[in-house]
Amino acid sequence: METKQILDTIQMISEEKLDIRTITMGISLFDCIDSDGEKARQKIYEKLTTSAKDLVKVADQIESEYGIPIVNKRISVTPISMIAAACHDDNYVAYAQTMQRAAERLGVDLIGGFSALVQKGYQSGDRTLIASIPEALSETSRVCGSVNVGSTRAGINMDAVKQMGQVVKDLAAIDPVSCMSLVVFANAVEDNPFMAGAFHGVGEADKVINVGISGPGVVKRALEKVRGQSIDIVSETIKKTAFKVTRMGQFVGNVAAKRLNVPFGIVDLSLAPTPSQGDSVAEILEEIGLESVGASGTTAALALLNDAVKKGGVMACEHVGGLSGAFIPVSEDSGMIRAVEHSNLNLEKLEAMTAVCSVGLDMVAVAGDTPAETISGMIADEAAIGVINNKTTAVRVIPATGKKVGERIDFGGIFGYAPVMPVNPNSPAKMIARGGRIPAPIHSFKN
């Protein structure tokens, strides 16, 4: 890198909150399958603690040597519904507890993959895993789960949509904060390093290193220098900034992969905000020219941002993957929180925004008495956006038990807090009760 690029990167780290949001090691568990559940779990524990034994140490070394903050060290595993199906256990809570023990032993922040892929129907382990989610996630602190209910090739499994609305409610009844560990997807990707939706896909190598970058503050600071200039200049500025940020992510990923003797997978380009001031996607949109996120023009500004980030990133890295876009979680973005609290942003506008960015209705709090069918309707709407537009969408919604609209629920740390948002009071219950499968869209039939 040229001297100026190095100095720019140092400034981005020290002044503009640039960091590596996560180094995630993906680990296949297919060689741990056993008809004896206890033996399978022992194999899983041994493989995780052996494969990732140096993950935290290497990440800390890189952070110390190069001065690049690495916020999280994480693991993703093969969807547990596939691994546990052979054992015929009545529930899979013990698998989540095994994942938790391994994460604690290794010192990683989170471990993802308590997951099921049911976009076209249920296989033998899927129903058991989904039924186990409330207990499993409420009894563990580092385990994350996800369920994929739709895809462009398969359509939307409305039976799973109905079930997941109830699962979210059941989990919230135990502990609403645990809902931040559960994501419902359409078109879930196999190499996502970000939680709560990370799992290690069946097409991946046995072990792989994936990197998730951050940098909303860097983009905002760059746009401050081109105020009043044309949208073309805005796009070009974002592209150049994304290039620099992604270069850093690729560098860290390559170094980590070499030291761990594990293949380097992808860099996820997603702008991942935090509740800290100056580290907000909403503030980028406002810097583009919106009085507040949620105003008319918000969707267009977000589409511009998302596209420019991807264009800059793919020029900087040979292997781009994951979700790669701009995240708009409510609780993790100080600008989004402010817009909701001032009634400038509602669920309907958020839903429109998810059509052009990553990933969906994310870290959204609703009143604790919101019916399960309404949550299923939210899941169905987001799945439809993903399936029709051939993109990943998701719902991570938190029914705030005992709280009403206008109150807030605190998650702590980088997860922030979420104001409880109003939902449309009209019920989709009769539609959700139909079940069945929404067919794949006509443009899915490409071969």
**pLDDT tens, position by position, 152-210:** 999 999 999 999 999 999 999 999 999 999 999 999 999 999 988 999 999 999 999 99
CA distance 440 to 7: 50
- At residue 346, what is the residue type? N
pLDDT above 80 (res 17): no
- H helices within 147-202, ranges in order? 158-174
Q: Is the peptide bond before 300 cis (omega within 30 degrees of 0)?
A: no
DSSP 8-state class, residue 271: B
Give the mean model confidence (pLDDT) for residues 379-386.
96
CA distance 226 to 412: 35
pLDDT band at 219 (very low <50, low <70, confident <90, very high): confident
Kindly state the tokens that stand for 388. Answer: 């029709």
Question: Residue 262: which of 42, 52, 6, 429 has the closest Cα?
Answer: 52
pLDDT above 90 (res 246): no
pLDDT above 90 (res 102): yes
Kindly state the tokens that stand for 27. Answer: 């680990």
Q: Is 323:359 a contact under the CB 8 Å cutoff?
A: yes
φ, ψ (nearest 5 deg) of residue 328: -130, 55
* pLDDT score, position 415: 72
Kindly state the tokens that stand for 71. Answer: 């916020």
Q: Tell which wins on pLDDT, 86 or 276.
A: 86
CA distance 200 to 74: 12
CA distance 387 to 153: 8
Instruction: Give the residue carrying structure tokens 């299923």.
Output: 376
pLDDT above 70 (res 12): no
- H helices within 210-297, ranges in order? 216-224, 231-260, 281-288
Give the mean model confidence (pLDDT) for residues 247-261.
90
Question: Residue 5: which of 251, 226, 208 has the closest Cα?
Answer: 251
* CA distances (Å), origin 264, targets 40, 56, 201, 206, 318: 27, 16, 15, 12, 11
- pLDDT tens-digit readout, 30-56: 999 999 999 999 999 999 999 999 999
CA distance 292 to 290: 5
pLDDT above 90 (res 128): yes
pLDDT above 60 (res 15): no
Strand partners, 157: 437
* Percentage of the chain lying above the pLDDT 90 cut: 67
What's CA 94's distance to the chain center, in Å?
A: 24
* pLDDT score, position 280: 86
pLDDT above 70 (res 329): yes
Give the mean model confidence (pLDDT) for residues 87-113.
95
DSSP 8-state class, residue 342: T
Q: Widest CA span of the chain, in angstroms?
A: 66
- Fold observed for domain 1-446: Anaerobic Ribonucleotide-triphosphate Reductase Large Chain (3.20.70)
* pLDDT score, position 445: 79
Kindly state the tokens that stand for 274. Answer: 């935090």
CA distance 69 to 274: 14
* Percentage of the chain lying above the pLDDT 70 cut: 95
Question: Residue 245: which of 61, 414, 13, 70 has the closest Cα?
Answer: 13
Q: The pTM is what?
A: 0.91
pLDDT above 60 (res 10): no
Q: Tell which wins on pLDDT, 428 or 275.
A: 428
Report the 10 Å Cβ neighbour count for 121: 11
Give the mean model confidence (pLDDT) for residues 134-149.
96
* pLDDT score, position 73: 94
Q: Tell which wins on pLDDT, 80 or 280.
A: 80
Q: Is the peptide bond before 359 cis (omega within 30 degrees of 0)?
A: yes
> Residues with Cβ < 8 Å from 107, sequence gap 6 or more?
56, 73
Q: What is the mean pLDDT of the chain?
A: 90
Q: Could you tell me the residue ranges of all domains in the chain?
A: 1-446
Q: Are strands 143-151 and 155-157 parallel, antiparallel or unpaired?
A: antiparallel
